[in-house]
């Protein structure tokens, strides 16, 4: 596999990742369970995430590939992580939030890796598109980090006021 083929492979992973996150964000943006601030932020990032998938598709086209060979590996990793974290339904909202925070950090790492690969392979023309995605995912990851405290505080207060389960 030459350098360009490897990048194409990773771009396909990134494409699958963005499409999978779109589903997660749609759920979060429409969830009655989630807080209004989280719903609003999810709606904003849902639009960004759609654009991310489009940009990754553009990168693939620039490298002479198409987005037809969609891989599911990356999305499966994300889903597997979530499976372990949502085993207890009661605090599912918290677990979903942590999984979503982890997913944004994972995206940041993926785009950093893709940018490094593009440099190494002399495919610099795709870097501006990747950098745009990187910045928006990094901003979202930061926002989610900053709100973990509030999410936990709210959850614990609500849980303390709820009657104990049998
Ligand atoms: Fe993204
Ligand atoms: Fe993202």
Q: Tell me which residue has tokens 């709820």.
A: 162
Residue 83 C-alpha from the chain's centroid: 16
Q: CA-to-CA distance for 87 and 92, rounded, in angstroms?
A: 8
For residue 138, the ligand closest to its alpha carbon is: 2
Q: List, for residues 111-130, the tens digit of each pLDDT value.
A: 999 999 999 999 999 999 99
Q: What is the pLDDT of residues 141-158, one digit of tens each?
A: 999 999 999 999 999 998
In contact, 52 and 133? CB cutoff 8 Å: yes
Q: Taken in order 158, 162, 164, 165, is the CA torsion positive or negative?
A: negative
- What value does the mean pLDDT take over residues 55-74? 78
| Global confidence as pTM | 0.85
Q: Relative to the alpha carbon of 139, which ligand is closest? A: 2
Kindly give the distance from the C-alpha atom of residue 49 to the centroid of ligand 2, in angstroms, as a whole number. 6
Tokens of 81: 């992580």
Q: Phi and psi for 6 in degrees, rounded to 5? A: -65, -40
Instruction: Look at residue 86 and give its three-state secondary structure.
Output: coil
CA dihedral 45, 23, 84, 89 (to 10 degrees): 90
* φ, ψ dihedrals at 50, nearest 5°: -60, -45
Ligand 2 centre to CA of 45 (Å) is 7
The domains found in the chain, sorted by start residue, are 3-161 (1.20.1260.10)
Which of 2-6, 56-60, 91-95, 143-147 is predicted least confidently?
A: 91-95
CA of residue 154 to ligand 1 center, whole Å: 27
Separation between Cα atoms, residue 51 and residue 15, nearest integer Å: 11
């Amino acid at each position: 596999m030459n350098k360009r083929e490897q990048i194409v492979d990773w771009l396909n992973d990134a494409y699958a990742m963005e499409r999978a996150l779109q589903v997660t964000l749609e759920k979060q943006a429409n969830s009655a369970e989630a807080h209004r601030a989280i719903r609003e932020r999810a709606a904003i990032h849902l639009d960004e995430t759609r654009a991310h998938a489009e940009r990754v598709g553009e990168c693939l086209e620039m490298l002479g590939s198409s987005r037809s060979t969609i891989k599911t590996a990356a999305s499966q990793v994300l889903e597997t992580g979530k499976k372990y974290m949502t085993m207890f339904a009661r605090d599912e909202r918290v677990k979903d939030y942590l999984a979503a925070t982890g997913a944004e950090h994972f995206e940041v790492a993926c785009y950093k890796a893709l940018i490094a690969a593009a440099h190494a392979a002399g495919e610099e023309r795709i870097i501006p598109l990747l950098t745009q995605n990187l910045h928006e995912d990094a901003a979202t990851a930061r926002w989610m980090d900053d709100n973990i405290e509030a999410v936990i505080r709210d959850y614990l207060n609500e849980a303390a006021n709820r009657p104990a389960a049998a």
